[in-house]
Amino acid sequence: MPLLHGNRHGGLPQVIEMKKIRMEIQETRKLWDEDPMRIPLQKSRRRALVLVTIILCCFGAILFRLVDLMVLDHDKLAGRAEQQYIRQKTLAPQRGVMLDRKMRELAANVDADSVYAVPSKVEDTRTFSAKLAAVTRISSKKLNMDLLKKKDREFIWIERKMDADTAGEVRKLIDKIGPEAIGFVPEARRYYPKGLTAAHLLGFTNIDNAGIAGLELQYNEFLKGEVTNVAVGTDARGNRLSSSVKDAVSGNSLVLTIDEGIQYIVERELSRAVDEWKAKAAVAVMMDPMTGEILAMANRPTYNPNEPGKSRDYARRNRAITDLYEPGSTLKSVLAAAAIEERVVRLQDWFDVSKGYIVVGGKAIRDVHRSEVITFQEVIQRSSNVGAVQVGLRLGSEKYYAYLKKFGFGEKTEIDFPGEVRGILRERRNWSGTSLAALSIGQEIGATPLQVLRAYSAIANGGILVKPYIVSDIISPEGTIVKRVVPDLSQRIISTRTAALVKEMLKTVVEEGGTAKRASIEGNLVAGKTGTAQIFDHKAGRYSPDKFVSSFVGFVPADNPRLALIVVVFEPKGKSYGGVVAAPVFRNIIENTFAYMSVPVEKNEHSILLVSRKR
């Protein structure tokens, strides 16, 4: 009956299923009666088989993953790990120092603090910026904008290489604005301990200590040292782990030919001259005429290399090698040397300058002071334009042009300094009918003060055109000499006889009757020449009637020259003659320099070449 009842409610399939279950129960009872332990053992074997299979599959998956991580994806994963636990750190080297010829520091390095912010840690950017702007040079508005734009960043610079006072003020604010939002980094800052002294020579660097001007730029590759990038291990929290890392390689040091004491004297006297004559600018360069070593080079106006951003471009310009001017009568010494070398004139030759002018190519060239008939020597002593033109006409344009080139005009001196200009000397085929006469009195040519000084040094040393230089030695951090400059004395341009004769003529310029009596020095003979050149007004198309360049160039002691010096004063007010404006500056510089160098008095009586005035 139960089966019929089940069939009535569940149907035939259910009846069949129930029969199977009953049969299994009966079979199980039979097996249990025969061997009670047989049934659990079969179930245990099945379970063990399933478990072993699962374990093997797990080990297989792990093994596959290990192969994938250690072999197939090794490079990619190693790179990720290095990024997370290895930090690249740049070790900035110490920039090499600059020393004068007596090993006194002219450019060095000092420690300075740079401050940075962590934008992600700054809660109130406006207040943060305002407080920092109050004690630093940064703009509150700009800093606030930077913090907002880079909110997710962990680092931005606020101000780099601050002075000690500013850094101290910033440190006082740390607790107020949050120590986690601000930090300091020590950096090396370029420092010029002598301030204005030799500013135009030394130049300056940018915020990253890269050379921007002067010797800092010219020798940047030697000075900058070797930047080192090293990998530093860190733990999970970013703390640096100990490591043995070598320091960056410091830069080489420069030993200059400059003497700090002489440089100071030159700059002091140049400043006095500018103040006295209300001049637009002035230049003075002192050189050893025997070697080409620059002992001093000064410009006015000037600037402080520790704060170059506070100066104008014109104040930072090294006019000694970048500014051209017409040398005027100082070029007559080159004319004299060429004429004597070519034997077209003798010291005893007479020149009639009584008219006070000479006409060449329809242009009248006049003397400032009238004379009668004078010797060739007196042409130079009195700086006669009329006499110089007559000498130039004897020499001829072809020969004169060749000697101007020999003396280095129209070419760079190749001094080890950036920005030097070539000067202007037109090729002879481009000369006009008045060019020879104009060049004979120092017009229609553009020269730098250094070019003129080098020409006079050739007369002083017996006829050799030297190559000027400022750096004598480059020394490694270990103290070994990397490079040493040897003077180049191979370029002879005139004979020793010619140089000696011109030297004797130049002595008379400083004597009674010469144009530069104010350059004379008691006890030491001076040889030199004045120059008074009108400045060409390009707008008016003619020479300015009231703007001049006053100059004096010479060497001392005349018979055994140790110093060659040029002084150029641009646009002095009140007076314009080189013998009045520039010659006294020359004298003051030399007298003070000789005292500094302990140069003994040569002699009191002046033995100069005297030419008999026969007519």
Rounded to whole angstroms, the Cα distance separating 309 from 301 reads: 15
Average pLDDT over residues 220-248: 59
Residue 77: the pLDDT is: 55
Give pLDDT, residue 9: 47
Q: Give me the half-sphere count of Cα atoms (radius 13 Å) on the Cβ side of residue 143.
A: 26
First to last CA, the chain: 175
Q: Are 207 and 157 in contact (CB under 8 A)?
A: no
What was the pLDDT predicted at 146?
Answer: 76
Q: Which tens digit of pLDDT belongs to each residue from 274-316?
A: 999 999 999 999 999 999 999 999 999 999 999 998 999 999 9
Question: Which residue(s) pair with 554 in the sheet?
Answer: 528, 565
> Is 201 buried (19+), middle (13-18) or exposed (0-12) by CB count in 10 A?
buried
State how far the Cα of 205 lies from the Cα of 428, in Å rounded to an integer: 43
CA dihedral 505, 506, 510, 513 (to 10 degrees): 40
What is the Cα–Cα distance from 335 to 384, expressed in whole angstroms?
13
Q: Give per-residue pLDDT as tens, 389-399.
A: 999 999 999 99
| Residue 536 or residue 465, greater confidence | 465
What whole-number percentage of the chain has pLDDT above 90?
Answer: 60
157 compared with 108, residue with greater pLDDT:
108
| Of residues 533 and 67, more confidently modeled | 533
pLDDT-wise least confident of 20-24, 214-218, 342-346: 20-24
Q: Is 492 exposed, middle or buried (0-12, 13-18, 19+ CB in 10 A)?
A: middle
Residue 515 has pLDDT above 60, yes or no: yes
Q: What is the largest CA-CA distance in the chain?
A: 175
- Bridge partners (DSSP) of residue 418 are none
- The DSSP H or E segment spanning 426 is none
- What is the arithmetic mean of pLDDT over 63-92? 59
The residues that bridge with 98 in the sheet, in sequence order, are 107, 254
Pairing mode of beta strands 357-360, 363-366: antiparallel
pLDDT at 20 over 80: no
Burial, 174: exposed, middle or buried (Cβ in 10 Å; 0-12, 13-18, 19+)? middle
Residue 331: pLDDT band (50, 70, 90) is very high
Q: Find the length of the chain.
A: 615
> Per residue in 339-359, pLDDT tens?
999 999 999 999 999 999 999
Please answer whether residues 107 and 189 qualify as being in contact, where contact means their C-beta atoms are separated by less than 8 angstroms. Answer: no
Q: Are 241 and 234 in contact (CB under 8 A)?
A: yes
Q: Which residues are catalytic?
A: 329
Q: Which residue in 277, 328, 522 sits closest to 443, CA to CA? A: 328
ω into 468 cis (within 30 of 0): no
Of the two residues 336 and 24, the one the predictor is more confident about is: 336
Confidence (pLDDT) at 153: 72
pLDDT interval class at 612 (50, 70, 90): very low
Region 440-461: mean pLDDT is 97
Which residues, listed in sequence order, are joined to residue 473 by a DSSP beta bridge? 255, 484
Average pLDDT score over residue span 448-469: 98
Q: How confident is the model at residue 580 (pLDDT cuts 50, 70, 90)?
A: very high
- Return the CATH fold of 260-307+316-597: Beta-lactamase (3.40.710)
Residue by residue, DSSP assigns 76-136 as: HHHHHHHHHHEEEEEEPPPPPPEE-TT--EEEEEEEEEEEEE-GGG-S-HHHHHHHHHTTS
Q: What is the per-residue pLDDT for 90? A: 54
**Region of residue 456 (left: phi > 0; alpha: psi -120 to 50; beta: else):** alpha
Per-residue pLDDT, averaged over 600-615, amounts to 46
Torsion angle defined by CA atoms of residues 499, 505, 509 and 511, in that order, rounded to the nearest 10 degrees: 120
pLDDT at 603 over 70: no
Percent of the chain with pLDDT over 70: 82
Domain boundaries 109-191, CATH class? alpha beta
Judged by average pLDDT, the poorest of 30-39, 452-461, 517-526 is: 30-39
Q: What mean pLDDT is predicted for residues 531-557?
A: 92
Mean of the per-residue pLDDT values for the chain? 85
Task: Pick 250 or 533 by higher pLDDT.
Answer: 533
Out of 159-168, 548-557, 590-599, pick the least confident.
159-168
How does DSSP assign 431-464, residue by residue? --TTHHHHHHTT-S-BB-HHHHHHHHHHHHTTSB
Which range is least confidently modeled, 15-24, 54-63, 297-306, 359-368? 15-24
pLDDT at 228: 60
Of the candidate ranges 86-90, 130-134, 222-226, the one whose mean pLDDT is the lowest: 86-90
Least confident of 247-251, 509-513, 531-535, 551-555: 247-251
Residue 523 tokens, joined:
């006890």
Q: What is the pLDDT of residue 482?
A: 95
What is the domain partition of the chain in residue ranges? Answer: 2-62, 109-191, 260-307+316-597
What is the reported pLDDT for 337?
98
Higher local confidence (pLDDT), 312 or 369: 312
Residue 230 — pLDDT band, cuts 50, 70, 90? Answer: very low
How much is the pLDDT for 608?
38
Q: How many C-alpha atoms does 275 have within 13 Å on its Cβ side?
A: 6
E runs forming strands in 353-470: 357-360, 363-366, 373-375
**Residue 560 in this model has a pLDDT that exceeds 90:** yes
pLDDT band at 169 (very low <50, low <70, confident <90, very high): confident
pLDDT of residue 606: 42
Q: Which pLDDT score is estimated for 600?
A: 79
Please enumerate in sequence order all residues whose Cβ is within 8 A of that of 503, keeping only pairs 6 or more positions apart, or say none.
Answer: 459, 460, 527, 558
